[in-house]
Amino acid sequence: MRTLAPVDVTTIQERVYQSLRLGLLKGEFLPGEQVTIRGLADVLGTSPMPVREAVARLIAERAIEQSGPRTLRVAPYLATEHENYIRIRMQLEGYAAERAARAPRNPALIGELRRHNDAMSEAVEAGDFEAALAGNQAFHFELYGAAGYPQLLDIISTLWLRTGPIVASARRDQALFERLFRIGVRIHGDAIDAVAQRDGAAARWAVNLDIRSSHLAIRKFYKTSVEAPAR
């Protein structure tokens, strides 16, 4: 009898899930975009089965919706629903920033936050949307990770699944891109100063301002430039 190790199918499913999840967080998909199991499997170079399992998890997280018997779509932008997510994000992410600022002093954290924000600023100047988006995400999760609550980080990450594709709409419009990320860089600077001074209230305020200002810019963009997909 040969003693071959069994194939761990769950590992493949998890890798596919994480890849799709990261794609949503990075804005690889746009709100309301139609996708199929077969199409995703082809892009990922895998069979449909692990993609189907991963998509089922993303549907449960409300990042993807079943739009037909065989079709799926990324959750569309809906103004009222997005407003609700923004309010929740402000509470949770503001709290995470406050906790991070009040944690024991960590010079390495300040250095990492500045590095991410500088990378974001350079990307904005170069007009590199992907790099700016990556820098913004790295900044926020570096800050929230310093709060010391892995469970809170998981919840925030799940909320970002809904807003990642919406922020990606900035690639459609240069003015929106400039507004989102230039303002973001400045506000991030305020958050870094607050963390350096261990001022929890100021850190919360800066993060909430960052989230709210982005939301208002996106809402204006959809209202004047894009017709949001209907359910």
Express each pLDDT in 182-214 by its tens digit: 999 999 999 999 999 999 999 999 999 999 999
Q: Give yes or no for residue 230 having a pLDDT over 80.
A: no
Domain 9-74 has CATH 1.10.10.10: yes
Q: Give yes or no for residue 228 having a pLDDT over 70.
A: no
Domain 79-224 has CATH 1.20.120.530: yes
Nearest to 181 by CA among 94, 116, 92, 95: 116
pTM value is: 0.85
Cα four-point dihedral sign 213, 73, 88, 94 = negative
**What is the predicted pLDDT for the residue at 28?**
83
**Domain range summary for the chain, segments of one domain joined by +:** 9-74, 79-224
Nearest to 134 by CA among 156, 150, 115: 115
Spatial separation of the C-alpha atoms in residues 100 and 131, rounded to whole Å: 25
Q: What is the pLDDT of residues 99-131, one digit of tens each?
A: 999 998 888 999 999 999 999 999 999 999 889
Residue by residue, DSSP assigns 139-178 as HHHHHHHTTS-HHHHHHHHHHHHHHHHHHGGGGG-HHHHH
Cα(first)–Cα(last) distance of the chain, in Å?
56
**What is the predicted pLDDT for the residue at 165?**
86
Q: What angle do CA 45, 47, 49 make, to 5 degrees?
A: 140
Q: What angle do CA 184, 195, 206 make, to 5 degrees?
A: 35
Q: Give yes or no for residue 223 having a pLDDT over 70.
A: yes
Better-scored residue on pLDDT, 22 or 6: 22
